[in-house]
C-alpha cells in the first residue's frame, strides 16, 4: 500500500536482491531490496521487504535510475520489432538486439519523466540501427542510423 499513489499507479519491479549489507539484519535474515519504477510518476522506488514475515520494512523514493529489467528489455524489443522502419531495415533478418536504458536529448523536460530504452539492432556484424522506445507510452519514438542522428 505504501508504494501505491492516489493516482492509478503503474509500478513494475525492476530488481530484487538480497539485503547483504545491513548489519542490523538478524543473522540468517532473508531481507530483500526490491526496486520499482513508477511509470505514472516517473520515479524509482526502493522497498526493503522481509518475505518470511511478509512485511514491507521501508520504502524510499530515489533519484537513481534503476537499470531495465529483463521484462522491460523484452517489451522494448517487441515494440521496436513492430515499427515499420525496423521491419524495413531488418528485411526478415534476425534483429540480434542489445537493449539498454536510454536518456534521449530533451527527456529531462518531460513531466513526468518517461522511461526510455534503446534497442541496438544488429542483423549482421556491420549493419546497425538504433530504435528508441518510450516505455512509459509503450511506443517506438525514433529509429536512428547512427547515435549522432
Q: What is the pLDDT of residues 58-86, one digit of tens each?
A: 899 998 999 999 999 999 999 999 999 99
CB atoms within 10 A of CB 120: 16
| C-alpha cell, 86 | 525496423
pLDDT, tens only, 130-140: 999 999 999 99
Contact (Cβ atoms closer than 8 angstroms) between residue 133 and residue 118 = yes
Average pLDDT, rounded, for the chain: 89
120: which 3 cell numbers?
Answer: 541496438
Q: What is residue 51's predicted lDDT score, i.e. its pLDDT?
A: 87
Task: Indicate the pLDDT class of residue 123, thresholds 50, 70 and 90.
Answer: very high
pLDDT reported for residue 5: 54
In whole angstroms, give the CA distance from residue 82 to residue 10: 23
Average pLDDT over residues 28-38: 86
Q: How far apart are CA 31 and CA 53, in angstroms?
A: 9
pLDDT score, position 27: 63
Please classify residue 56 by burial: count the beta carbons closer than 10 Å to its beta carbon, then call 0-12 exposed, 13-18 middle and 19+ buried. Answer: middle
3-class DSSP state for residue 148? Answer: coil
Amino acid at each position: 500500500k505504501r508504494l501505491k499513489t492516489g493516482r492509478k499507479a503503474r509500478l513494475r519491479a525492476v530488481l530484487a536482491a538480497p539485503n547483504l549489507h545491513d548489519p542490523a539484519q538478524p543473522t540468517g535474515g532473508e531481507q530483500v531490496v526490491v526496486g520499482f519504477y513508477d511509470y505514472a510518476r516517473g520515479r524509482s522506488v526502493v522497498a526493503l521487504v522481509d518475505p518470511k514475515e511478509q512485511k514491507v520494512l521501508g520504502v524510499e523514493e530515489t533519484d537513481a535510475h534503476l537499470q531495465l529489467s529483463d521484462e522491460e528489455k523484452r517489451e522494448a524489443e517487441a515494440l521496436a520489432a513492430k515499427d515499420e522502419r525496423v521491419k524495413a531495415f531488418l528485411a526478415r533478418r534476425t534483429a540480434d538486439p542489445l537493449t539498454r536504458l536510454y536518456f534521449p536529448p530533451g527527456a529531462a523536460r518531460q513531466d513526468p519523466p518517461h522511461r526510455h530504452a534503446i534497442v541496438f539492432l544488429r542483423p549482421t556484424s556491420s549493419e546497425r540501427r538504433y530504435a528508441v522506445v518510450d516505455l512509459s507510452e509503450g511506443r517506438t519514438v525514433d529509429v536512428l542510423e547512427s547515435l549522432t542522428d
